[in-house]
Structure 1
């Protein structure tokens, strides 16, 4: 039989779907005519279909050695490399394929540009990725190219542009997945009312399964909670569960709480309701499910101001009942010359969590003996900090697939220590923390609250911030370092602006720059007291919520103030970073919230020299301002009661000389807070000890 007959029979078998026979015939032909045109290419395609990617690449490369301008073969080589996450060599292959592809083949060129864009995005080169997707769309308009442009804009934090492109994608494709992406983008942009409407639309789409329709209703509930409509959120969850019972819906209900409470009595009422909801959850039957659709960990519970340890431990037990079990345990690894550290987070970009911890770990690695393995849990945003972190790490892992597949990715790293920056900020990392993925697992105070998760061994905190008997607040073993585990960069400050340029009202300006859910009813006594005791007080509440919920705080205070006093309470618009630092420099006093305080805002304020007042709470989440003021040698700004808080704030605002002395002390001692590597040896020793290397 002549070679061309062998080839024809093999192609016929391939076209008929008999891939095994086709492979046999191609291999037989290889014995007869090893240089037969396209033979290695066909063998490479068959190997790709079997998942034998390395073998496929060797066949493609053999074909290209004979036919260097075979651009379609080079595209297949790139696809195989992309499947193995070898994005740079894949991109280089695609760029060569593009050079060889005829300019008349516009559809093929568009596809190659699209693939180049995907490689660029995976390499975190977002501007080049965007250009590639735009070029693909110019060559051949298609929703796929618009969708990828939307994802790039999303990763860059350009949420309005992302929303526009997702909207255009949905209009052109009419695919439910694109409408869902649009709804997700509306949610990310904090346009909760519009997102709720889009998720409602999804819940009515017959193309979706009942489970997906129910999950869409669950997202309606998420939006309603963000709009401070907890009763409506609970009704939406009930409606969703009636459509299709799902563990993701059951787990969401205990964490439904108001964003703004009308009174302390309402705090207690919802506290009791959360306990009842937890009891309800414990009584429900449970079976393992894919929980990656769950989006609502009980984040807001900590803002009520109580010890949440037992509640969170009970809740974690219910999560564990519904998780699929790991199929494999940890191997017994010999001690190696370096310690393999895994750092997992959703926030490997300019975010409050990474402002605390990114520089710490980048500086820690050279001090060894460590290798750093970064594990990105569905991170949406990428920026220069992302690139810096990737360069500092030994490996970078994007988690993919279902929860068990993600757990397997982490296990494959063979880590000695796995470190979570936070858990309650992100459902995915919270779920993964329930698995034993490293011999020792630590939690950093990215959200300074216990996880309640039994597979997290240590919670890393500091001695000065924790109150006495603090171990009672944690399910993890509490580690109290001499210093807070950070290497905090000095915040960049804009030039000061005059009160007129800032638009500030005339008088003594008090600023509370906290998220609305931190404006606890306990703060009312401070706000009211300042406005009553200082006739020149102008109180600014920063409106950080896009949905305008701070107006509900103002309404709560209205009954306690005269009309004249209420007129001096201002809802101030959210400020961009540069103008925010100018605002901090322009006010007289910063009012720290309690019982849940801040950290990053305080650091900017200290750099700006803004006097502040705090009343430390019972838990570390309300005690960071105390720590910072003690480091600055300003203990007189730490109050012992709400009345004391008001007294200090008013006296500071009235006394220009005192404020100047405070600014001088902040400036003199700020080196203790910023760019100070004092915590590095403490964290290094902790990690070595935790791994049993001390």
Structure 2
């Protein structure tokens, strides 16, 4: 009965049955995992964690219980518990490489203070050395365990520390490449370029876990839609499994479309069979299977684009396809790949459909007379050294309401920042959950100002805010990942709200909040210039010129 309710997604009823069942017998590891999953679905986190811990006590060698516990403890800001739990897992599962990676490379998803960033940076640096030193891939068993480990997680959170990651990424990239080479020696040898006869087309492949509606790949539809079909043949490899309307677009814009979900070797074999000239990963770093594939040599030329805007460190990735508007002068110092600066923002982003306003602020529990500052980034983009900015704005704009869409974990930090200048954060900060896309767009349309994050700016979120004509306050960072919004506004030709530093950021945010006329002028200018930014073709001309150039360089027969 418990399992029946579980399979039907009737979480409350399943919980009641599982608990009744566990009164009479201990249950197996699966029972505890299922029960914990029910709690997770209902966001009853304390019960979720305690159920996993009970299951681990009874079944200490069950990897899935350990893995779920550690990953979600970190996700929910309980980093110390996550580290202790990873130590515990390595004691019970000493030969499972997954838990070695977690033990040595875990960093928080959010930080309590700036000092923590440096502490965990040093811990990661030392941990990576220890992991590399302790990695043995001599036996088949070790090779398979290491392969499974790097197939379960990536080092995604490292790059949110706002530092140059090239050295650490190179070390990790070399490790991934060595593990992949040990498991698939046939797929790491250099490949010669298939010869191009006159009238032949360059075969370009795009492989991603996210060929559906996803922030890291949505822009790719533009590259494919406007592709020069007389010169290029497009192959797409969808290795995820959440097909939707955007997947249909990818299919429509491809000459050949392969859907090969969750099967690493089958996807690699297909790419090899297709004899591509160039293979492009829209992102590397968010999905473990993509990282594994990128650690192999599946095409003579391999590139990564800025779906995840950080160097891969992989010796098998030749080029990083970036944007001339986003990159600082010394940008090559941040990449292990050869940096290619494509025109403008580097991508052709389709203009989002924005519906008419059909909701009011009261539908979201927001006052009509408030100045609403939209703060819609993921919590890990908010670094603690910038928390004071919200309090400073509130100090000067008494009607301010900061609407956080995913920022629940930031509440203790914000409380401290506001208290430091004698304010109560609860008077100004609102935390709401927006599950539906329509509601998300409504919030954009009902807000007054969009506050961008420092060091890692909005990408998709900023582009959608621009489509809603919502004024953007941004301050470009040191690395490309902190300069997205800056480049969008420059391309739009509306640069008045780009700040040079934190003080100027506060000034602009305050002025937008208080000066209704200026705010209206900015919004109006944004609305008039959409065509400069969306569906840009110049970047595609640059991209295809690069593809042709790289082919002619690699084979004289072109």
Q: TM-score, normalised by structure 2?
A: 0.85
Structure 1 residues 399, 189: closer, same or farther in 2, change over 3 A? farther
Aligned mate of 1:214, from 40, 48, 63: 63
The structure 1 residue matched to 2:438, chosen from 578, 587, 593, is 578
Question: 1:83-482 to 2 correspondence within 5 Å?
Answer: 196=49, 203=56, 210=61, 213-244=62-93, 245-287=95-137, 288-290=143-145, 291-293=147-149, 294-323=151-180, 324-328=182-186, 329=189, 332=192, 333-335=194-196, 337-364=200-227, 367-377=229-239, 379-399=240-260, 403-404=264-265, 406-482=267-343
| Distance (Å, rounded) in 2 between the aligned partners of 1:372 and 1:390 | 10
Looking at structure 2, the residues matched to 161 and 330 of structure 1 have their Cα atoms a distance apart, in angstroms, of 52
Cα shift at 1:214: 3.2
TM-score where L is the length of structure 1: 0.70
Aligned to 1:99: none
* Maintained 8 Å contact 2:191/2:299: no
Q: CA deviation at 1:354?
A: 2.7
Q: 1:489 to 1:181 in 2, by over 3 A?
A: farther
Q: Tell me whether 1:503 sits opposite 2:365 in the alignment.
A: yes
> In the aligned structure 2, how far is the partner of 1:519 from the partner of 1:614?
13
Taking structure 1 as reference, are residues 315 and 491 closer, same or farther at Cα in structure 2, changes over 3 Å only? same
Structure 2 unaligned spans of 5+ = 22-26, 138-142
> For 1:651, which of 511, 529, 541 is the aligned residue?
511
Question: Greater share of helix residues, 1 or 2?
Answer: 1
Shift, 1:188, TM fit:
9.0
Deviation of 1:335 after TM superposition, in Å, equals 2.5
Residue aligning to 1:111: none
Give yes or no for contact 1:252–1:297 (8 Å, CA) kept in 2. Answer: no
Inter-partner Cα distance in structure 2 for 1:647 and 1:398: 50
The answer to whether the Cα contact below 8 Å between 2:311 and 2:337 also exists between their aligned partners in 1 is yes
Cα offset for 1:514?
A: 1.1
CA contact (8 A) 1:255 1:297 kept: no
SS of match in other structure, 1:570: strand
CA distance in 2, matches of 1:198, 1:360: 47
How far 1:325 moved relative to its partner? 4.0
Shift of 1:457: 0.5
2:355 to 478, 486, 494: 494
Structure 1 runs not aligned, ≥5 long = 1-140, 151-159
The answer to whether structure 1 residue 607 and structure 2 residue 463 are counterparts is no
Residue in 2 that maps onto 1:532: 395
Go from structure 1 to structure 2 and tell me whether the alpha carbon gap of 1:163 and 1:676 turns closer, same or farther (over 3 Å shift): farther
Q: CA deviation at 1:617?
A: 0.3
Give CA-to-partner distance per residue, 1:272-316, whole Å, 9 cap, x none: 211121122132142123423542211111111111111111122
Report if aligned partners of 2:322, 2:341 keep a CA contact under 8 Å in 1: yes
Match of 2:499 among 639, 642, 645: 639
Structure 1: distance between partners of 2:256 and 2:44:
36
Deviation string 1:379-405 (CA, Å, 9 cap, x unpaired) is 131112223322332333344677555
CA-CA distance at 1:466 after TM superposition: 0.6
Structure-2 change in CA distance of 1:390 and 1:178 (3 Å): farther
Contact 2:401 2:429 in 1 (8 A): yes
Name the counterpart of 1:118.
none
Alpha-carbon displacement from aligned partner over 1:564-621 (angstroms, at most 9, x marks no partner): 5652222233352222222222222111001111111111111111111111100011
Deviates more, 1:490-499 or 1:186-195: 186-195
Q: Is the 8 A contact 1:373 1:395 kept in 2?
A: yes
Q: Does 499-508 or 395-404 show the bigger shift?
A: 395-404
1:469, distance to aligned residue in structure 2 (A): 0.5
Rounded to whole Å, the distance in 2 between the matches of 1:627 and 1:499 is: 31
Q: Structure 1 pair 355/277, CA: closer, same or farther in 2 (3 Å)? A: same
Report which of the two structures shows the higher radius of gyration computed on alpha carbons: 1
What is the distance in 1 between the residues matched to 2:162 and 2:178? Answer: 28
- Whether the aligned pair in 1 keeps the contact of 2:241 and 2:261 (CA below 8 Å) is no
Paired position in structure 2 for 1:79: none
Residues 194 and 371 (structure 1), Cα distance of their counterparts in 2 relative to 1, 3 Å cut:
farther
Deviates more, 1:592-601 or 1:182-191: 182-191
2-structure distance, mates of 1:665, 1:566: 34
**Alignment RMSD:** 3.3
Greater length-normalized contact order (CA 8 Å, ≥ 6 residues apart):
2
8 Å contact from structure 1 (residues 532, 565) kept in 2: no
Report SS of the residue matched to 2:206.
Answer: strand
Partner of 1:683: 543
Q: Counterpart in 2 of 1:5?
A: none
Structure 1: how far apart are the matches of 2:82 and 2:72?
8
Task: Report the counterpart of residue 140 of structure 2 in structure 1.
Answer: none
Report SS of the residue matched to 2:496.
helix
Residues 467 and 199 of structure 1, relative CA distance in 2, 3 Å threshold: same
Residues 262 and 556 in structure 1, CA contact (< 8 A), matched pair in contact too? no
Secondary structure of the 1:691 match is helix
Residue 211 of structure 2 contacts residue 243 of structure 2 at CA under 8 Å; is this kept in 1? yes
**Shift in Å, 1:534:** 2.2
What SS is found at the alignment partner of 1:342? strand
> What are the superposed Cα offsets for residues 515-558 of structure 1, whole Å, 9 maximum, x if unpaired?
1111111321311210122223222222x26xx42323333424
8 Å Cα contact 1:255/1:300 also seen in 2: no
CA gap 1:597/1:318 in 2 versus in 1, 3 angstroms: same
Name the CA distance, whole Å, in 2 between partners of 1:683 and 1:182. Answer: 50
CA deviation map 1:647-668 (0-9, x unaligned): 1110121111211211121111
Higher mean C-alpha displacement, 337-346 vs 194-203: 194-203
Task: Check 1:586–1:406 CA distance in 2 against 1; reply closer, same or farther (3 A cut).
Answer: closer
What's the offset of the Cα at 1:247?
A: 2.0
